[in-house]
A and B are shown apart, each in its own frame.
Chain A
Amino acid sequence: MSGVQAGERKGEKAATPMQARGPAFAYFDLDEEAKARGLFSILAEDGSYDPANVTRFDKTLCLQLYRGMLWTRLMDRQFMALQRQGVLGFYAETIGQEAASICSAATLEPQDWLVPALREHGAGLFRGMNFENFVAQLFGNANDITRGRQMPLHPCDRPTNYLNMSSCIATQISHAVGVAMGMKISGVGNQVCMGYMGDGATSEGDFHVAMNFAAVRKAPVVLICQNNQWAISTPVSGQTAAETFALKGIGYGMESLRADGNDMFAVYEVCKYAVDKARRGEGPTFIELLNYRLSAHTSSDDPSRYRDESVTTMWREKREPLIRARIFLEKKGWLSEAEHEAMAAQIESTIREVVAKQRDVPAPPLRSLIEDVQQTPWWRLEEDLAAMQELLAKQ
């Protein structure tokens, strides 16, 4: 089942000089510090835009991107409801970050790799991760290809080069750089790795280490910081004294860009620029995508205890990525109200069908407890499992 797969984007034009791509693209000609302090944007909060800036985005691509974002939004809604009903043990929404998640990953090719942080599961599905497998992972049931080993929302999908999210924060950035170093050393060519992090991750030592290795080794990696302005309860001001996160990249000698993370076109363009650059062998890029965490951190969190939710309301009503994308699509005549309803209904029924199939599947078999620790379980694992099986047989 590949309901949200991006599919092939055929007939892509050769790279055009930036200034010829519309006035907004003058951003790319700024000096490095101005780029890191600035904010690249194309689609304004009210959905207005300069047609000269959006020539790349035809109806097919726009609907693919929008469908991926809508899928993520609707999926979050259903799974969060299931969590509240006690059906799922845990969940974390992407609400407000769909453009940053989907439109960044949309610039990758099938042979590329994606190393996620917490809110990239929509991106993984967009790239073709099997949705049945994803839902099975949420339930940790016998169909879960990761075999019920982790909490919900830690999918891992080798067929689409989607690595495992680590709750440790920032450890995954070095993995993304290592994957990219492997791509470069093995000389396969034409491969790029995209690695994600949140704003909180930039405070970890692993962030520094990974940024430094990426720049020194000129790895074909794009490192994306989703600055949703909150690390659980800690605001950006408690995380860094730097004016922007993008500025941090300059110290490592890495080109650093900053874009409106709620603007699907701006996200796509900065990421496409960085991915193309990495693919040409011209090294890594650090990208800060500015957005706002409209939801709680996870199902275990209550943001009303630590933040002014009237600010959240402002972002939800005025700056949220799907609203302005929809205004654009309606203006273009590419997605009518009725077509939107049909798209949403189809997505929701698919999700419901898959949930119905997976929710009552039993847990993985007992033996899977000791498998995959190593290639072959060592004698103590076998011994302890046998003792437990004996005990269970007596009961």
Chain B
Amino acid sequence: MPTMNIIQAVNSALRIQMAREPKAVILGEDVGKFGGVFRATSGLYDEFGEDRVIDTPLAEAGIIGTAIGMAVYGMRPIPEIQFSDFIFPAFDQIVNEMAKFRYRSGGQYPCPVVIRTPVGGGIRGGHYHSQSPEALFIHTPGLKVVLPSNPYDAKGLLLSCLQQDDPVLFMEPKKIYRASRGEVPDEAYTVELGKAKIVREGEQVTLIGYGAMVSIMEEAAIKAEEIGISCEVIDLRTLLPFDLETLVESVNKTGRAVVVHEAPKTCGFGAELASSLYERCLGVLEAPIERVAGFDTPFPYSLEHEYMPNADRVIGAIRKTLEW
């Protein structure tokens, strides 16, 4: 089986979809001839032509607005927003239009747009190339939000998104775009949406996260084991709808939970996860649920590593839950 990084896995999923679905259209800034600034669409322009791999004018609202029109017409658009920091000109189109089309048309017009966008920090990108705005979209009824942590899931989840009829925000963790490598089949396969994955089993504390934070949690779990603490690590994979059952099952076993994400803590997705777990697990919890998150600041440049959650901060939170 070939080894791929996340970029290659995404590219492989896109190539499969473009070959098998004539209505599939890729559009975005620099996605055509150039193959995208991260090369996720590399080679697709040559293979599928300029009408199906469209280099658009530089306007995110137009990329999503026209993708919506294409989707309700019956196409299967796959727009790319170059960095999720630049998604905000299209916020209205995503929140008020794309996510609402099925509902407000009474189901007459599904809007199967799958937006791909790189997310997260750790690449020395400063404020405008590092943000994690997932919570804004998880708060939007009508969307699905997906954020893989490795190449196998990236390809399988993306192919799942492309085969269903709801609009999706597919966020790709750019810090590990190339660093995360693994075996990925060349052929098509799917990873089920809405299902979390237990990436490491443990007994005392449940660590919950997604995207680039999964490897941070694994690193923390290994270090914790060295000092005699057993952690279970769960990769959410789909953020909306999220897999509460798997989390509840784990927390019922461990009695403790730490939620990790890069985005600011206040009203971050960790707040929703913690609240949902309190509703279901209050009786078994041995300690308050800890949140390890980015600071409630704009994303910084020079102090990026201090801003981002790391294994030490996760271990600090693990200790707090044990010492409470």
A interface residues (Cβ-Cβ under 8 A, vs B):
113, 115, 144-147, 149-150, 154, 156-158, 163-164, 166, 168, 171, 173-186, 193, 205-206, 209-210, 212-213, 216-217, 371-375, 378-380
Contacts and interface: CB of A to CB of B under 8 A. Distances in A.
18 contacts: A157-B108, A158-B108, A174-B65, A176-B69, A177-B69, A180-B69, A182-B69, A182-B70, A186-B73, A193-B69, A209-B57, A209-B61, A209-B62, A210-B65, A212-B57, A213-B56, A216-B56, A379-B241
Nearest to B102: A372
Contacts of B61: 174, 205-206, 209
B85 interface: no
Contacts of B23: 186
Given A150-B104, A163-B72, A174-B62, A185 B25 contact: yes
A178 B144 contact: no
Closest 8 CB pairs of A and B: A178-B69, A174-B65, A178-B66, A182-B73, A378-B241, A209-B62, A146-B106, A175-B69
A380 B51 CA distance: 40
Contacts of A373: 102-103, 141-142
Provide the main secondary structure of the chain B interface. Answer: mixed
B210 interface: no
A375 B241 CA distance: 13
Contacts of B194: 378
A132 B71 CA distance: 28
B134 to A, nearest CB: 16
A195 to B, nearest CB: 9
A164 B73 contact: no
A115 to B, nearest CB: 8
A133 B88 CA distance: 36
B164 A375 contact: yes
A155 to B, nearest CB: 10
B298 interface: no
Given A178-B70, A210-B62, A185 B51 contact: yes
Contacts of A378: 194, 240-241
A147 B106 contact: yes
Interface string B92-111: 11001100011111111110
A209 B59 CA distance: 7
A209 B64 CA distance: 11
Contacts of B70: 178-179, 181-182, 185
Given A171-B65, A205-B89, A379-B244, A178 B73 contact: yes
Most chain A Cβ neighbours within 10 Å, of B92, B165, B166, B240: B92
Contacts of B77: 178
**Which of A171, A186, A374 has the most C-beta atoms of chain B within 10 angstroms of its own C-beta?**
A374
B62 A149 contact: no
Interface string B121-145: 0000000000000000000011010
A176 B73 CA distance: 10
Given A174-B65, A176-B69, A373-B141, 16 more contacts: A146-B104, A150-B104, A174-B64, A175-B97, A179-B69, A179-B73, A185-B51, A205-B61, A212-B57, A213-B59, A213-B62, A217-B54, A374-B144, A374-B166, A375-B164, A380-B241
B193 to A, nearest CB: 10
A234 to B, nearest CB: 20
Contacts of B71: 178
Nearest to B96: A168
A144 B165 contact: no
B96 A171 contact: yes
Interface in B1-38: 22-23, 25
A374 to B, nearest CB: 5
Name the residue among B66, B104, B165 with the largest chain A CB count within 10 angstroms: B66
Given A163-B72, A209-B59, A374-B142, A145 B106 contact: yes
Contacts of B260: none
Nearest to A221: B69
B316 interface: no
B263 interface: no
B68 interface: yes
Contacts of A193: 69
A291 to B, nearest CB: 27
B57 A171 contact: no
B80 to A, nearest CB: 16
